[in-house]
Amino acid sequence: MTPDLPRESASAFATRLRQRFADAVVRVDEPRGEVGMVVEADAWHDTCRQLRDDFGFEQLIDVAGMDYLGHGSDEWDTDVSSEGFSRGVEGRSTGRLRYGDVLREQSAEPQGTIDTLVPERRFAAVLQLLSVRHNQRLRMRCFAPDDSLPVIPSVTDLWPVANWFEREAFDMFGIIFSGHPDLRRILTDYGFVGHPFRKDFPLIGNVEVRYDPERQRVIYEPVTSVEPRVLVPRVIRDDARYATAAGEDHDLKIASTLGPADAALPSTGPTPTPAGATR
């Protein structure tokens, strides 16, 4: 029986990638040892072919679209103030648009617009590759050169499994994969307008559908009955009432499920007397 070959370390593998692809950006994310590489669009297809043929990445696991608009911005502020924690309930940030709102760069504030962070390059495709032979994984990323018409070469001729993955990225993000044999929507309706995973796509959508009995058909009209909501993180913080009650030997008369799981308040009632004992 042939013994298993030792797996190449992440740093050694990254060094080999840098030597082979001098124009690519290779990084290792510690402590997990995840190797990632960023490749320009004009070298994307050729780099992927070399990774398959020369580095043994015979399997493609996933192709995902990315929209970096507003990347790094938050919808809420968790700084403590005299009024408690801000929960960002207004929702006036990327992805929380109402019908008719548009995005703009940070400048003056005309009516109907909101601030957002605009990246240098917005759209990207991310590939997850696996080499079963070498027990190695690699994350590949390619940014589209033009945000107004994001185009990235298709890899369906290298890994046919990329077909539906690239169609999904096209449908959700509007990324065009040049050379794809059948690039059309795969999840939304054929007449759908826009790409719902883009950060500037209204969270409530652009139109709503209803049946009109007079016209006897389904009609589309601007959204009027739905308001955008903001999902906020649950903030867990210590409550001084329990520590105060424990120190002052007070009974809060609150169900124990409302307080910390490890809170042990002293009993305020009389200490039971064992049978046969006297005080």
Mean predicted lDDT score pLDDT of the chain: 77
Residues 140, 259 within the same domain: no
Task: Single out the residue of 166, 139, 161 nearest to residue 150, CA to CA.
Answer: 166
> Under a CB-based contact definition with an 8 Å cutoff, are residues 137 and 151 in contact?
no
Residues 258, 135 within the same domain: no
Residue 218: pLDDT band by 50, 70, 90 thresholds?
confident
Residues 147, 175 within the same domain: yes
pLDDT of residue 256: 47
pLDDT of residue 84: 52
The number of domains in the chain is 3
* Cα-Cα end-to-end distance for the chain: 79
Residues 168, 242 within the same domain: no
Is 3 domain-assigned?
A: no
Q: What is the mean pLDDT of residues 55-59?
A: 96
CATH value at residue 147: 3.30.460.80
Is 2 domain-assigned?
A: no
pLDDT of residue 111: 46
List of E strands, the chain: 25-29, 34-38, 59-67, 80-81, 84-85, 102-103, 113-114, 123-131, 136-143, 151-153, 176-178, 207-212, 217-222
Residue 227 host element (H or E): none
CA 228 – CA 87 distance, rounded (Å) = 15
pLDDT tens string 256-276: 444 444 444 455 555 555 555
Residue 103: pLDDT band by 50, 70, 90 thresholds?
low
- Torsion (CA) 8, 12, 17, 20 in degrees, nearest 10: -110
Is 240 domain-assigned?
A: yes
Residues 186, 225 within the same domain: no
Q: How many residues does the chain have?
A: 279
Query: 273: exposed, middle or buried (C-beta count within 10 Å: 0-12, 13-18, 19+)?
Result: exposed
Instruction: Give yes or no for a cis peptide into 110 (omega within 30° of 0).
Output: no
Residues 137, 223 within the same domain: no
> Reduced to 3 DSSP states, what percent helix, strand and coil does the chain have, rounded to the nearest 5?
15, 20, 60
pLDDT tens string 142-186: 999 999 999 999 999 999 999 999 999 999 999 999 999 999 999
Residue 248 has pLDDT above 80, yes or no: no
- Range with lowest mean pLDDT among 70-79, 211-220, 231-240: 231-240
Residues 134, 181 within the same domain: yes
Is 272 domain-assigned?
A: no
Query: What is the torsional sign of CA 24, 28, 29, 35?
Result: positive
pLDDT of residue 20: 96
SS3 139: strand
Residues 59, 138 within the same domain: yes
Residue-number span of the structural domain to which 52 is assigned: 10-66+121-190
Give 61 or 108, the one with higher predicted confidence: 61
Give 125 or 33, the one with higher predicted confidence: 125
> Under a CB-based contact definition with an 8 Å cutoff, are residues 26 and 36 in contact?
yes
Q: What is the mean pLDDT of residues 76-93?
A: 52
Is 276 domain-assigned?
A: no
Give 216 or 74, the one with higher predicted confidence: 216
CA 203 – CA 196 distance, rounded (Å) = 8
Residue 3 has pLDDT above 50, yes or no: no
Residue 7 has pLDDT above 80, yes or no: no
- Owner of token pair 């580095």: 55
How, if at all, do strands 151-153 and 176-178 pair?
parallel
Is 196 domain-assigned?
A: no
Residues 151, 258 within the same domain: no
How large a percentage of the chain has pLDDT more than 90? 45
Residue 108 has pLDDT above 50, yes or no: no
